[in-house]
Amino acid sequence: MDLIIILHAGVATGTVILFATLGELITERSGVMNLGVEGMMLLGAMAAFGIANSTGNAWLGLLVAMFAGGVLAILHGIVVIQFRADQVVSGLSLTFLGTGVSLVLGEGLSDAGGVALLPAFDIPLLSAIPVIGPIMFANQSILTYLSYLLVPMIWYYINRTRPGLHLRAVGEYPAAADALGINVFRQRYLYVFIGGMLCGLAGAALSLAISPGWFSDKTTAGLGWIAIGLVIFAQWNPIRAALGSFLFGALRRLILDIQGPMVLFGVLRNPFFYDPYLGFFLQMLPYAFTIIVLVIGSREAMRKRLGAPAALGIPYVRGERGA
Amino acid sequence: MPESQYAVEMKGIVRRFPGVLANDNIDFNLRTGEIHALLGENGAGKSTLMNILTGLYRPDEGGISVNGQRVYFNSPKDAINAGIGMVHQHFMLVPSQSVTENILIGLDEPRFWLQLPKYEQKIKALEDQFNLKVDPQAKIWQLSVGEQQRVEILKMLYRGVSVLIMDEPTAVLAPQEIEGLFKTLRVMAAEGKSIVFISHKLNEVLEIADRITVLRRGKVTAVGIKASETNRAELAHLMVGRKVLFELEKKEQEPGKRVLSIEDIHALNNRRLPALRGVSMHVCAGEIVGVAAIAGNGQSELAEVITGLRECTAGRVLIGENEVQNRSARVSIDAGAAHIPEDRTHVGSAPNLSVTDNLIMKSYRRSPISHGMSINQSVAQEQAESLKDEYDIIVPTIKTPVRLLSGGNLQRVILAREISAEPELMIAVQPTRGLDVGAIEGVQQLLLDQREAGAAILLISEELEELVVLSDRIYVLYEGKVMGEVQNGDIDTIGQMMTGTRQEEISTEAKR
């Protein structure tokens, strides 16, 4: 129960959640809700591991995973952008589709054993900073370092660039964007695709870096749902999304670790060690939290207060008034 | 004739929608530097024609020339590139973004980084040139409706348009704001911009326009007549297709006993935000009391609280001696209230039910229509037939579902139902909105008849002219509070209160 180790592992797990959260966040900022995160992640994890296994090239696996996540997301895009179907229903179906396809194609992969993994290394100088160094900059995956860069980049992109301005306009008031010549449909497809790629990347980060291997649907184990909850928790802000993701990663790790020792802090008799039901209860907590956030976040008034994109979940039809 | 005489020329425009011929061979031309009014009732085809000019729709037949050049628009962007921009009636602004950000949406420059301070300077300069004051850094949701309209105009000017189409620009403005808008439009015309002013209000059109084109049911009834050579009566005739009298008989009469008392009402709107914050007012028998307010200042919620459709968080509503707040619509009805709701199709009627069913919706509970557990259909139909004749409801049969009725006819069905219940109190919300000029007069006359018959009437309307003509007294609401009460129908005072000045403040200013 070394706090540094727990936080170090928390950052690693948080990386996975973060990619998925950022993906969902950028999709939702364009006004489309995609509840298929879990499916896209699992497909990404399977594709990455499968390709790395057969070709020996982890980077190729990563690319294919992102592409697979994006393509799956485009399916959702066609259903909800083109045919204006209910986004919740389509998103849930996408989870089942992604999970099903991954399980079928991934059959046998669990025996694959070792594959080429993505590198982990120390960052010179930064890793020497006390406390923060060993947690954030020592022996982390290259993808974790990438995620550090991605967060401010996405924030800047959304808030300080021209395409980001258009992204926000399309998510807040598509009719206004349309009247000024922005192609609302193209924009939404683009960000649905990018969101799907990031979810695929999240899956690849799992199976190639953070907890290597293919464990069928236990690979993601509900992390996608936590990501969806975190988007609301983060109020659609990438910086908050990063804080939330790393916090949840650490919590998850803590919940696993706290069940290990017979004695806590050298004196306390560890109840979680002796009572397995208490342990299950602990493991359930992040998901319970996610459900609570989703329920709260689904209330119209609360969404307004949290700053949800005003057109989130509403199909755009030219000529209909208001948003 | 030099070809540059017309900034825009539209010839033989035809546009069909399923079941409707929205534009039937329409000609329209706009001279450089003029303000040209496009006059017509709702559904006459004004918006369709302008949506064609701005590239939102494509015409089925006919063509458009800009400065003598034939053009084909596939999207609003094409139209803007050709120098034609529209300010929509419902503003196309992103509330969470700043003024500058809204103006920059869809432009090629800035290329990537927004660099807002640089563009804020440019917008400031444009504001000075056209006298359109608004803070470029402010978020849209912080701005008043008038300021938002200025942002819309700036958006188009920034894109360098030479033709600006204003779709019903005064509908959402207080009188002072309308004056400001007219000044701006004149400045723009003087700077060489050509302006199309879409409206159905005769007075405004006569005041602001150089020339007028009138549409009726998709056809042109007058092309570019000079505003100085026409008058209200002629325009109304062109617009409606028959003579309109503009004469209402309002008798002098003393108000009777108090029928409606509202005491310190507080209520929330649909977004759970305060909509009414301590409203008190009363209405007596035999008087029409108006409520003036810009849309969204609590007037809709006020009507709903009185009619039992919305809960209030504090305060009392008395109809006669009965407390009706936080009970139900039926309690209000039984206390003698009638309701002409704002939303005719969803609150005022059941669209898929027949005219008969909609007419008996209040009286079905009582004999003779009620007959034990069942409804006496023959009595119901007799009553419906006689109401149909009495109120001039034009329908094929009384079995027709009301969703097929025009706005004016539907409103007559609702009025027939509510008035035939002989109410002591009538709450009328926007009773003439969207009706044609002739129908408006009929509805207004019915309200005056009710006043004469001794009913207490609370009239909530966004048409100031209508309020002033019909009402004995007018309360002005602003952000859920009563700003003051006006007896003499002084539009200037009402306008100041509608934008948040308290009556006491106006009188102290006058003393200085």
Question: Nearest 5°: phi and psi at B286?
Answer: 75, 20
CB-closest option in B88, B105, B114 to A169? B105
DSSP for B368-395, written as a single string: TTEETTEE-HHHHHHHHHHHHHHTT---
Q: Give the pLDDT mean for B206-235.
A: 92
Note whether A179 contacts B: Cβ–Cβ < 8 A. Answer: yes
Contact B96 A182 (CB under 8 A): no
Q: How far is CA A225 from CA A23, A231, B32, B60, B164, in A?
A: 13, 10, 59, 49, 49
Between CA A184 and CA B63 the distance in angstroms is 28
Q: What is the DSSP letter of B5?
A: G
Contact B105 A176 (CB under 8 A): yes
First to last CA, chain A: 51
CB-CB neighbors (< 8 A) of B271 in chain A: 300-301, 304
Q: Which of A153, A156, A165 to mutate to test the interface with B (most CBs of B within 10 A)?
A: A165
Q: Give the pLDDT mean for B317-322.
A: 92
Indicate the pTM of the whole model. 0.77
Summarised one tens digit per residue, pLDDT across range B141-198 is: 888 888 999 999 999 999 999 999 999 898 778 888 888 899 999 999 999 999 999 9
CB-CB neighbors (< 8 A) of B102 in chain A: 176
| Close Cβ partners of A275 (under 8 Å, ≥ 6 residues apart) | none
Whether A321 shows a pLDDT value over 60: the answer reads no
Tokens of B351: 């669209």
CB-CB neighbors (< 8 A) of A182 in chain B: 105-106
Q: Say what the ipTM of the complex is.
A: 0.86
Pairing of strands B194-199, B211-216: unpaired
Contact A173 B93 (CB under 8 A): yes
CB-CB neighbors (< 8 A) of B88 in chain A: 179
Q: Which of A240-244, B77-81, B257-261 has the lowest average pLDDT?
A: B77-81
Between CA B308 and CA B325 the distance in angstroms is 6
Contact B97 A169 (CB under 8 A): yes
Contact B271 A165 (CB under 8 A): no
Note whether A181 contacts B: Cβ–Cβ < 8 A. Answer: yes
Contact B272 A301 (CB under 8 A): yes
Contacts 24+ apart (CB under 8 A), B382-388: B383/B359, B384/B355, B384/B356, B384/B359, B384/B360, B387/B359, B387/B416, B387/B417, B387/B420, B388/B355, B388/B359, B388/B416
Closest residue on chain A to B57 (Cα): A319
CB-CB neighbors (< 8 A) of A29 in chain B: none
CB-CB neighbors (< 8 A) of A304 in chain B: 271
CB-CB neighbors (< 8 A) of B50 in chain A: none
Instruction: State chain A's maximal CA–CA distance in angstroms.
Output: 69
CB-CB neighbors (< 8 A) of B93 in chain A: 173, 176
Residue A307 and residue A297 in contact, taking contact as beta carbons nearer than 8 Å? no
Summarised one tens digit per residue, pLDDT across range B199-218 is: 888 889 999 999 999 998 88
Query: What element of type H or E holds B357?
Result: helix B355-359
Summarised one tens digit per residue, pLDDT across range B422-479 is: 899 999 999 988 777 777 888 899 999 999 999 999 999 988 888 988 999 999 999 9
Summarised one tens digit per residue, pLDDT across range A88-144 is: 999 999 999 999 999 999 988 877 766 778 899 999 999 999 989 999 999 999 999
| Close Cβ partners of B123 (under 8 Å, ≥ 6 residues apart) | B99, B100, B103, B136, B154, B158
CA of B250, closest CA in chain A: separation in Å? 39
Note whether A182 contacts B: Cβ–Cβ < 8 A. Answer: yes
Residue ranges per domain, chain A?
14-238
Whether B352 shows a pLDDT value over 80: the answer reads yes
CB-CB neighbors (< 8 A) of A307 in chain B: 96
Between CA B181 and CA B452 the distance in angstroms is 39
Peptide bond into A134 cis (omega under 30): no
- Among B29, B25, B113, CA closest to B65: B29
Whether A319 shows a pLDDT value over 70: the answer reads no
Contact A161 B112 (CB under 8 A): yes
Contact A307 B96 (CB under 8 A): yes
Tokens of A151: 């967060």
Tokens of A299: 């209330």
Summarised one tens digit per residue, pLDDT across range A230-244 is: 999 999 999 999 999
Closest residue on chain A to B105 (Cα): A166
With tokens 């039992």, the residue in question is: B308
Instruction: Indicate the residue type of A313.
Output: G
DSSP for B268-317, written as a single string: E-TTSSEEEEEEEEEEETT-EEEEE--TTSSHHHHHHHHTTSS--SEEEE
A322 — pLDDT class (breaks 50, 70, 90): very low
Between CA A53 and CA A45 the distance in angstroms is 12
What pLDDT is recorded for position B3? 46
| Torsion sign over Cα A257, A261, A267, A272 | positive
Contact A181 B88 (CB under 8 A): no
Task: Calculate the dihedral angle through the C-alpha atoms of B110, B113, B115, B116, rounding to the nearest 10 degrees.
Answer: 80
Note whether A319 contacts B: Cβ–Cβ < 8 A. Answer: yes
Q: Cβ atoms within 10 A of the Cβ of B257, count? A: 11
Contact A162 B92 (CB under 8 A): no
CB-closest option in B76, B114, B272 to A162? B114
First to last CA, chain B: 57
CB-closest option in B93, B106, B112 to A182? B106
CB-closest option in A173, A179, A304 to B76? A179
Contact A173 B80 (CB under 8 A): no
Instruction: Indicate the residue type of B192.
Output: G
Residue A248 and residue A158 in contact, taking contact as beta carbons nearer than 8 Å? no
What pLDDT is recorded for position A282? 83
Q: What is the mean pLDDT of chain A?
A: 90
Between CA A136 and CA A145 the distance in angstroms is 8
B248 — pLDDT class (breaks 50, 70, 90): confident
CB-CB neighbors (< 8 A) of B86 in chain A: 179
Note whether A176 contacts B: Cβ–Cβ < 8 A. Answer: yes
Between CA A89 and CA A6 the distance in angstroms is 37
**Which domains, and CATH codes, for chain B?**
3-240 (3.40.50.300), 258-336+423-511 (3.40.50.300)
Closest residue on chain A to B108 (Cα): A162
What pLDDT is recorded for position B142? 87
